[in-house]
């Protein structure tokens, strides 16, 4: 019998005894803890537990009981169950269209359903309407308030995977910790070189001969999450900055889509901050 794996995320105000409370709960249900990761930043506690069960487990009962524990401990808890059913995808966007257009055009080959598109503005709403996918604009300038809304939207659509398709906001630990190794971003350089928003301009100014893009999982450390996939293209000395950008943007879209596809096909495993591609 195949084991059941449940991912548990715990986020809330840091205090003593939280780790023991949730690990003891997992043990009391006959679970074996396979992964545990915890962080504390400015009094905010985040923990991810991956628990496996050798015997059949009543998922509905498990979820009800862990939510009762969450209420008692005053923590925000969510569970994620690995199943063979299609995953629900949320795409976060701002105004650059190519990544979103590429994902929508190839969406039938994804082992998942694009459930919602969330934008910081309404520029790309027509693309969502054409694809008949719900679009929600969260235009709050205050990131904390914006994330409070986004968290509720993701809960509503039971989101499994988040794709940052040139989403021009930095997500806080409070959000990122809720989706460990389930938020994929695209960065316009071969990380860790040329970090930041002006990567193409830096590469152009430095006369770089090869420019690349990096898809990676998002962590609380900007642009430093586990790298999933990288690709590159050669730069001709006569290429203008605009030509480099056009080449790069197409590669970004393709690389982001490839990373999403690999994730949804369960081909990726993160161990010790490195992404390993499963052979089978």
Encode pLDDT of 160-206 as tens digits: 999 999 999 999 999 999 999 999 999 988 877 776 778 888 878 87
pLDDT, residue 195, reads 67
Instruction: Please confirm, yes or no, whether 76 is among the known catalytic residues.
Output: no
The pLDDT value recorded for residue 168 is: 92
Percent of the chain with pLDDT strictly greater than 90: 71
Eight-state DSSP code of residue 107? G
Half-sphere exposure of 266 (CA within 13 A, CB side): 8
* pLDDT value, residue 272: 77
Q: What is the pLDDT averaged over residues 24-52?
A: 92
The answer to whether the beta carbons of residues 56 and 4 sit under 8 Å apart is: yes
Domain assignments of the chain as residue spans, ordered by start: 4-81, 87-277
Q: Catalytic pick from 63, 76, 160, 223?
A: 223
The burial class, CB within 10 Å (0-12 / 13-18 / 19+), for 180 is: buried
**The architecture CATH gives domain 87-277:** 3-Layer(aba) Sandwich (3.40)
Q: Which long-range contacts (CB under 8 A, 24 or more apart) does 196-203 make?
A: 196/223, 197/168, 200/241, 200/244, 200/245, 200/248, 201/241, 203/235, 203/244
| pLDDT at position 45 over 70 | yes
Mean pLDDT of 51-55: 89
Rounded Cα distance between 183 and 91, Å, is 10
Residue 184: the pLDDT is 97
CATH 3.30.70.260 for domain 4-81, yes or no, is: yes
Indicate the pTM of the whole model.
Answer: 0.86
Instruction: For strands 32-41 and 87-93, give the pairing.
Output: unpaired
User: Tens of pLDDT along 240-261?
Assistant: 999 999 999 999 999 999 999 9
Query: Are 88 and 158 in contact, with CB atoms under 8 Å apart?
Result: yes
Number of residues that this document lists for the chain: 280
Who contacts 213 (Cβ-Cβ below 8 Å, separation ≥6)? 186, 187, 188, 189, 190, 230, 231, 232, 248, 251, 252, 255
What per-residue confidence (pLDDT) applies to 280?
A: 63
For residue range 62-106, what is the model confidence (pLDDT) as tens digits?
Answer: 999 999 999 999 999 999 876 556 799 999 999 999 999 999 999
Give the tokens for residue 154.
């993701």
Quick one: average pLDDT of 7-35?
93
If pLDDT is split at 50, 70 and 90, which confidence band does 56 have? confident
Q: Among positive and negative, which fits the CA dihedral 204, 192, 258, 183?
A: negative
Residue of 36, 29, 16, 33 whose CA lies nearest to 68: 29
DSSP character at residue 241: H
Name residue 37's beta-bridge partners: 48
State both tokens at 75.
């923590």
What is the rounded average pLDDT for all residues in the chain? 91
In this predicted structure, what is the pLDDT of residue 29? Answer: 92
Average pLDDT over residues 24-39: 92
Let me know the angle formed at the C-alpha of 33 by 26 and 61, rounded to the nearest 5 degrees: 30
DSSP strands (E only) in the chain: 4-13, 32-41, 44-53, 76-81, 87-93, 112-119, 135-137, 161-164, 183-187, 210-217, 227-234, 268-271, 274-277
pLDDT tens by residue, 230-241: 999 998 889 899
């Amino acid at each position: 019998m195949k084991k059941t794996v449940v991912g548990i995320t715990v986020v809330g105000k840091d205090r003593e005894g939280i780790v023991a409370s949730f690990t003891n709960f997992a043990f009391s249900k006959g679970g074996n803890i396979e992964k545990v990761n915890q962080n504390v930043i400015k009094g905010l506690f985040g923990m991810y537990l991956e628990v496996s069960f050798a015997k059949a487990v009543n998922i509905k009962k498990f979820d009800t009981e862990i939510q009762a524990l969450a209420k008692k401990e005053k923590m925000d808890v969510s569970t994620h169950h690995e199943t063979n059913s299609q995953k629900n995808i949320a795409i976060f966007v701002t105004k650059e269209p190519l990544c979103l257009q590429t994902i929508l055009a190839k969406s039938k080959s994804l082992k998942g359903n694009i459930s919602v598109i969330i934008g910081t503005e309404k520029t790309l709403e027509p693309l969502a309407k054409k694809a008949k996918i719900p679009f929600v604009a969260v235009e709050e300038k205050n990131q904390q308030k914006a994330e409070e809304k986004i968290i509720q939207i993701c809960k509503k659509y039971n989101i499994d995977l988040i794709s940052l398709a040139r989403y021009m906001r930095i997500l806080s630990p409070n959000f990122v910790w809720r989706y460990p190794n389930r938020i994929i971003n695209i960065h316009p350089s071969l990380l860790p070189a040329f970090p930041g928003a002006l990567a193409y301009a830096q590469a152009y100014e430095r006369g770089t001969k090869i420019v690349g893009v990096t898809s990676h999982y998002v962590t609380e450390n900007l642009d430093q999450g586990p790298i999933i996939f990288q690709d590159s293209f050669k730069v001709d000395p006569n290429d203008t900055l605009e030509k480099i950008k056009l080449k790069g943007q197409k590669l970004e879209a393709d690389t982001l889509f490839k990373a999403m596809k690999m994730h949804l096909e369960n081909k990726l495993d993160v161990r010790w901050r490195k992404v390993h591609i499963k052979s089978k």
